[in-house]
Chain A
Amino acid sequence: MKTIAWLVAGITLLAAAVYTFVSLARWEWNRALFFAIVFVAAEVGLGIALVLRRLARVEALVTDLPAPDPGARRALRDTRGEQERFAWLRVDPTEVVGRTNVFITLLVGGGVILSGGAWLLDKLASSTVDPRREQRLGRELDGIAYRPGLLVDEVDTLARPSLDRDDPRVRSFLGTTR
């Protein structure tokens, strides 16, 4: 059924395009307009269908992804650094050449809209890109996570800032004496 729908849409698009040019060549303006409208309608329909099909594929891919470790996500979220907002607006008062941002804001008068749009974009990016990136990083971290039964566990490792070579157990493990 889908194949038939795609076929019909494709044939409609092609036929409308051909008839538009044929009508134009024959000086039939009203017919050309009609076929051009059919062409545009078929083109829009096909475009939307292609986008929806792609979205369905992406949705299926996302659904099949394994859920990231919630602990890793939490740790990443908690340690997320503060982002400096509107850094591009900050101007060094001693620098004259680089004041174009303020200049644009004042001259065009659309600086408010521009800033609002940038702020919105920034918020949107921080609420979509960061969690997404954290999810991906969480999944990657899962691959190098400690497995149970190792010689040195994560509690021991995390408790030490660096390897304590004076620890007799470590010296014994490394086979060194001093």
Chain B
Amino acid sequence: MSVPARRGLLLVALVLGVVVGVHVLRQATMSTHYSTAPDSRLVVVIDAAANRSEPGVEIADMVDAQVDVCGLEVARVPDITPVAGTDDHFTVTVQPALDSTDRKQLRGCLEDWAVDHLRLEVRSMEDEVVEEEAGGAG
């Protein structure tokens, strides 16, 4: 293959790679919001770990603070309840459930370094059917 032909082929491959790369990046990062059912609910289980926190500050208080801030990010008022029998596992419930982009945003916010001395890790993020309304409909 001649040198100009090889260069042309390389250029085409390069342009193709850039186009595909931009498309993939766009798909991976673009926010796509859609409405969810009012009775849908998202349950998030988080593990909390505190390191050298201020005296008198409970881990639950710090979790409250971070989860409240993250609620503002996704325009929801989260309901936080400690998992029974543990002091560092919490269940965060938001209703209505979040769309896919907001889920990513909530997970990112929860796992971000927002509150000093606190690190949260999202264990699970599952949709839950509201029992009362589901039962009433049936």
Residues of A bordering B, CB below 8 Å: 25-31, 34
Cα A102 to Cα B113 in complex, Å, equals: 58
Which residues of A sit under 8 angstroms from B29, Cβ to Cβ? Answer: 25
Which chain A residues border B107 with CB–CB below 8 Å? 26-27
Establish whether residues B104 and A30, one from each chain, have CB atoms under 8 Å apart when the complex forms: no
> Does B108 contact A26, Cβ atoms closer than 8 Å?
yes
A27-B108 in contact (CB<8A): yes
- Give the dominant DSSP class at A's interface: helix
Q: Summarize B's interface: helix, strand, loop or mixed.
A: helix
* CB neighbors of A among B63-116 (8 A): 104-105, 107-109, 111-114
Question: Complex formed: what's the CA distance from A162 to B105 in Å?
Answer: 90
Can you show 17 pairs from A to B with CB atoms below 8 A apart? A25-B28, A25-B29, A26-B104, A26-B107, A26-B108, A26-B111, A27-B105, A27-B108, A27-B112, A28-B108, A28-B109, A28-B111, A28-B113, A29-B112, A31-B112, A31-B113, A34-B113
Rounded to whole angstroms, the CA-CA distance of A27 and B114 in the bound complex is 12
Q: Are A28 and B28 within 8 A (Cβ)?
A: no
A31–B112 alpha-carbon span in the complex (Å):
6
Expressed in whole angstroms, the Cα–Cα distance for A145 and B30 within the complex equals 74
B: number of interface residues (CB 8 Å): 11
On chain A, the residues within 8 Å of B113 by CB distance are 28, 30-31, 34
Residue in A closest to B73 when the chains form the complex, CB atoms: A27
Inter-chain CA distance A28–B107, complex, in Å, is: 9
A-side contacts of B109, CB under 8 Å? 27-28
Give 5 nearest A-B pairs by CB, closest first. A27-B108, A28-B112, A30-B113, A26-B108, A27-B105
Segment 16-74 of B: residues with Cβ below 8 Å from A: 28-29
Q: Which residue of A lies closest to B28 (CB)?
A: A25
B131 to chain A, nearest CB (A): 31
CA distance A29 to B104 in the complex (A): 13
Interfacial chain B residues near A34, Cβ < 8 Å: 113
